[in-house]
């Protein structure tokens, strides 16, 4: 026999045991197919409607992709920045220094801005030269929405960090997954109207749905629906202050339970 | 003389499990206090509480006469920490790691201070080396350099000589004593190397299952328990 079944089974068993004890791995297993199916399902529904003007699809995919990437880079700048300290087992050195938690977060916010700026600049330049797509064409309004998008990204980043402090390194998968939870409801690649009613109700509570709807209006119609911007900002500050509160709760919990000294071990 | 650190009735519970029970002690300038106990006694937890990274269930901590919990950030400028069990980011060079912490502690003359400390801990030739390329002993010495960056008045050390070659254990032990005697540095350290510990410390706090068993001047403790070495004291109390 070219292989020994029991030895092969031992490999399978090792991963099944891992799965058995790991909620995050279950989420990973079930989450991505769900998100992918919903996302591409709605895109398909949208495409089936047809009859759109020239240039429409350029925004739909290139513009949406650039803005979504700003969110992802800013969110990961925060969450992965925190994870870098977890992986390096450096958290303790940081938190036994005079640095306050707010200074630490501020540092991560700045770093995440840098990451988002580099990524968006690269994509904007490439989109212009390769596809003659000018994302900056509506200056101030685009800036307003980008700022809103970044605050939302920070909220998701803070929530991810809070989960890591609550549940340990087990939750690190959320650094890549949590933002995508909002993707189907954010109207990134299709308008909110494509969504079923129940999903539209959820989308009303997600600031990115207003942000991407507004981007769409600006770039396709040259018109800015300011009421959407207002709604997006109100919602995004609710998310932001909630996530700051949850993060502080998680940080104090980790100090109380001693978990903060164990993360990364 | 005023104590630089006063700990009063410090207790810690994780859920229902009591891991530290009414720990009290005082640390004066130039004191070197050894926290001694078997694994799981609560030594590291005590250090973490003294650093404010784990919150106590009850008790009070005063550094330099000030309430630690109300002035944490200000106090930590003069308190430092190193542990065998905590590393620095591997993908940065030795110099880069130290610069990050130099900015964090807002120390003046960054380059000069780093060079002097790297000389002192015999790591100057590793200045441009990636931290991942250091041996465990070199990593511990780098941790000590980092701990000395802010010119602390109090140093908390968790197993500072673990992983070091015997010549470095002696060298660093002598260094601690020199800093303590000449600069008034106070040190709290945990170590399982009792022979080496005895040469450095002047005070000891013995903990078993979170309970303080004995605390005081080393010579007084030897007299009280009728022993002549730290190892004997350890075996008499813990074994």
pLDDT score of A231 more than 90: yes
Give mean pLDDT, residues A22-30.
Answer: 74
Predicted pLDDT at A244: 96
Which tens digit of pLDDT belongs to each residue from A147-185? 999 999 999 999 999 999 998 888 888 888 888 889 889
Distance, C-alpha A135 to centroid of its chain: 21
DSSP conformation class of B201: -
The band of B93, judged by pLDDT with boundaries at 50, 70 and 90, is: very high
CA distance readout (Å), B174 to B130, B170, B183, B201, B236? 28, 6, 14, 11, 28
Give mean pLDDT, residues A78-93.
Answer: 87
The residue extents of the domains of chain B are 5-238
Cβ-defined contact of B54 to A95 (cutoff 8 Å): no
The band of A54, judged by pLDDT with boundaries at 50, 70 and 90, is: low
Report d(CA B147, CA B145) in Å as an integer: 5
Nearest CA in chain A to B52: A96
Mention every residue, 6+ apart, whose C-beta is less than 8 A from residue A251. Answer: A101, A162, A165, A260
Task: Give the one of B45, B51, B89 whose C-beta lies nearest to A96's C-beta.
Answer: B51
Residues in A closer than 8 angstroms to B14, CB to CB, are 257-258
Mention every residue, 6+ apart, whose C-beta is less than 8 A from residue A152. Answer: A71, A207, A208, A211, A236, A239, A240
Q: Could you give the 3-state DSSP secondary structure of residue A137?
A: helix
Predicted pLDDT at B190: 92
Give mean pLDDT, residues B68-90.
Answer: 91
pTM exceeds cut of 0.90: no
The class of domain B5-238 in CATH terms is alpha beta
pLDDT score of A209 more than 80: yes
Q: Is any Cβ of chain B less than 8 angstroms from the Cβ of A262?
A: no
In a mutagenesis test of the A interface, which of B104, B107, B146, B156 is the best target, namely the one with the most A β-carbons within 10 Å?
B104
Q: Which of residues 58-117 of A touch B (CB under 8 A)?
A: 84-85, 88-90, 92-100
The band of B80, judged by pLDDT with boundaries at 50, 70 and 90, is: very high
Of A99-113, A138-152, B214-228, minimum mean pLDDT range: A138-152
Q: In what order do the strands lie in the sheet with B32-36?
A: B79-83, B154-158, B186-190, B32-36, B203-208, B211-217
Q: Which of residues 143-162 of B touch A (CB under 8 A)?
A: 146
């Amino acid at each position: 026999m070219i292989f020994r079944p029991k030895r092969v089974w031992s490999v399978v068993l090792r991963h099944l045991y891992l799965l058995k004890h790991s909620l995050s791995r279950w989420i990973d297993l079930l989450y991505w197919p769900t998100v992918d199916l919903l996302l591409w399902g709605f895109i398909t529904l949208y495409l089936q409607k047809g009859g759109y003007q020239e240039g429409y699809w350029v925004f739909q995919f290139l513009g949406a992709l650039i803005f979504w990437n700003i969110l992802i880079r800013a969110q990961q700048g925060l969450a992965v920045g925190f994870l870098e300290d977890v992986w390096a087992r450096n958290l303790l050195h940081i938190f036994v220094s005079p640095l306050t938690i707010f200074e630490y977060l501020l540092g991560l916010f700045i770093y995440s801005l840098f990451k988002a700026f580099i990524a968006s600049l690269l994509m904007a330049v490439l989109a212009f030269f390769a596809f003659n797509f000018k994302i900056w064409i509506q200056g101030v309004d685009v800036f307003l929405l980008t700022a809103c998008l970044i605050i939302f990204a920070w909220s998701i980043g803070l929530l991810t960090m809070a989960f890591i402090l609550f549940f340990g390194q087990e939750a690190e998968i959320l650094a890549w997954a949590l933002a995508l939870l909002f993707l189907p409801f954010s109207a990134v690649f299709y308008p909110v109207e494509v969504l079923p009613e129940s999903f539209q109700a959820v989308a009303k509570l997600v600031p990115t749905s207003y942000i991407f709807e507004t981007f769409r209006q600006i770039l396709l119609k040259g018109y800015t629906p300011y009421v959407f911007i207002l709604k997006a900002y109100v919602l995004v500050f609710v998310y932001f202050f909630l996530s700051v509160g949850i993060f502080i709760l998680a940080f104090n919990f980790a100090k109380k339970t001693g978990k903060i000294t164990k993360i990364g071990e | 003389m005023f104590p630089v650190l006063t700990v009063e009735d410090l207790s810690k519970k994780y859920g229902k499990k009591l891991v530290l029970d009414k720990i009290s002690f005082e640390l004066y300038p130039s004191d070197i206090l050894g926290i001694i106990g078997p694994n799981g006694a609560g030594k590291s937890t005590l250090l973490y509480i003294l650093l404010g990274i784990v919150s106590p269930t009850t008790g009070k901590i005063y550094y330099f006469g000030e309430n630690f919990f109300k002035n944490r950030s200000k106090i930590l400028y003069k308190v430092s920490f190193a542990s065998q069990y905590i590393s620095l980011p591997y993908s940065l060079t030795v110099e880069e790691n130290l610069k990050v912490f130099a900015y964090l502690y807002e120390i003046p003359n960054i380059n000069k201070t780093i060079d002097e400390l790297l000389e002192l801990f015999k790591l100057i030739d590793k200045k441009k080396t990636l931290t991942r390329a250091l041996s465990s002993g070199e990593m511990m010495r780098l941790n000590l350099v980092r701990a000395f960056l802010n010119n602390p008045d109090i140093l908390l050390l968790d197993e500072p000589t673990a992983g070091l070659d015997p010549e470095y254990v002696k060298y660093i032990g002598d260094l601690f004593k020199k800093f303590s005697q000449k600069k008034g540095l106070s040190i709290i350290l945990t170590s399982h190397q009792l022979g080496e510990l005895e040469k450095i410390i002047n005070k000891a706090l013995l903990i078993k299952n979170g309970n303080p068993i004995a605390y005081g001047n080393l010579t007084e403790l030897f007299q009280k328990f009728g022993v002549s070495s730290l190892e004997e004291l350890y075996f008499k109390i813990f074994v």
